């Protein structure tokens, strides 16, 4: 709606996991490098946690872009509120398991065949479970742990990455055998004030901005009202661009951000 007014090619503040908008803060870089280490070194399992909207999903998508498609087969579970059988079906489908069996035993057999076939072809299997804090049944975590039993004498045949909000950590800790298999853990924090400003500039640049749109006061207000949480930053900045356009303003100032926040909170 406002792209032409601001001379943008794309919407800069959509809350979708588009890797091209991935902003490499030092913390996100470290998180990405750690996940890549777990996957490329075949470490079994990794745990990524963080406050809501801090960029966990986007980071996992950036991870996929970094992985060579001819060497890795990646399955995403984006809705963990499933039964154990439904989750296994979802994983098998994502890995290209063909016709999906109905019985749990048959599903596990089919899944093992796919994972072994990947290994024979020199490919590594990666399973990413996003929003895992939403898992309520401990048996589902146990099912994920059992996936790590797909291994040879000297290596895992798949890598499991578990992503979620802070409350995921105690849930995993309750499943001792799973917790002990987590080779690496990383926690994402919210952005600081300077990082928030750089984040906004970065997304606008990727979207095609040719000049500064948010002034310093506006950026400071974005940080104060968002707490440095990327999802909230996106919501505020998107509304601020729309608000400034409606006033035919040449840029976004502090008062514009305040008005945008008030609109979001009505």
pLDDT tens string, the chain, 266 residues long: the values are 899 999 999 999 999 888 889 888 888 889 999 999 999 999 999 999 998 888 888 888 889 888 887 799 999 998 888 888 999 999 999 998 778 898 999 999 999 999 999 999 999 999 999 999 999 888 899 999 999 999 888 889 999 999 999 999 999 999 999 999 999 999 999 999 999 999 999 999 999 999 999 999 999 999 999 999 999 999 999 999 999 999 999 999 999 999 999 999 87
Neighbours of 150 (CB within 10 A): 17
Neighbours of 29 (CB within 10 A): 13
Neighbours of 183 (CB within 10 A): 18
DSSP string, 86-102: HHHHHHHHHTT-SSPPS
Closest among 85, 219, 69, 103 to 140, alpha carbons compared: 85
Using the Cα atoms of residue 246, residue 252, residue 255 and residue 256 in order, give the sign of their dihedral. Answer: positive
Report the distance separating Cα 115 and Cα 113, nearest Å.
Answer: 6
> Superfamily assignment of 26-188 in CATH?
P-loop containing nucleotide triphosphate hydrolases (3.40.50.300)
Report the distance separating Cα 132 and Cα 87, nearest Å.
Answer: 12
State the DSSP code for 160.
Answer: E
- What residue segments make up the domains of the chain, in order of their start? 26-188, 191-265
Give the burial string for 46-83 (b: 16+ CB within 10 Å, else e). bbbbbbebbbbbbbbbbbbeebeeeebbbbbbeebeee
Whether 26-188 shares its CATH topology with 191-265 is answered: no
Match domain 191-265 to its CATH number in 3.30.470.20, 3.30.750.80, 3.40.50.1100, 1.10.8.60. Answer: 1.10.8.60
């Amino acid at each position: 709606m406002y792209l032409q007014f601001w001379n943008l090619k794309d919407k800069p503040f959509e809350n979708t996991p588009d890797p091209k908008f991935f902003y490499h803060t030092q913390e996100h870089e470290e998180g990405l490098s750690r996940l890549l280490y777990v996957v490329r070194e075949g470490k079994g399992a990794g745990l990524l946690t963080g406050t809501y909207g801090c960029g966990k999903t986007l980071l996992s998508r950036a991870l996929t872009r970094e992985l060579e498609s001819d060497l890795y087969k990646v399955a995403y579970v984006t809705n963990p509120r499933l039964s154990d059988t439904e989750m296994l079906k979802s994983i098998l489908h994502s890995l290209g398991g063909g016709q999906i069996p109905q019985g749990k035993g048959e599903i596990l057999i089919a899944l093992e065949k796919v994972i072994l076939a990947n290994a024979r072809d020199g490919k590594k299997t990666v399973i990413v479970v996003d929003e895992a804090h939403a898992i309520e049944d401990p048996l589902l975590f146990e099912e994920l742990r059992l996936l790590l039993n797909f291994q040879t004498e000297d290596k895992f045949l798949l890598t499991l990455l578990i992503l979620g909000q802070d409350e995921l950590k105690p849930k995993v800790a309750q499943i001792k055998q799973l917790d002990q298999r987590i080779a690496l853990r990383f926690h994402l924090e919210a952005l600081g004030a300077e990082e928030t400003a750089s984040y906004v500039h970065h997304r606008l640049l990727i979207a095609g901005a040719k000049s500064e749109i948010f002034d310093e006061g506006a950026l400071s207000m974005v940080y104060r009202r968002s707490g440095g949480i990327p999802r909230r930053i996106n919501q505020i900045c998107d509304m601020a661009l729309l608000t400034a356009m409606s006033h035919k303003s040449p840029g976004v100032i502090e008062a514009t951000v305040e008005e945008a926040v008030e609109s979001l909170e009505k």
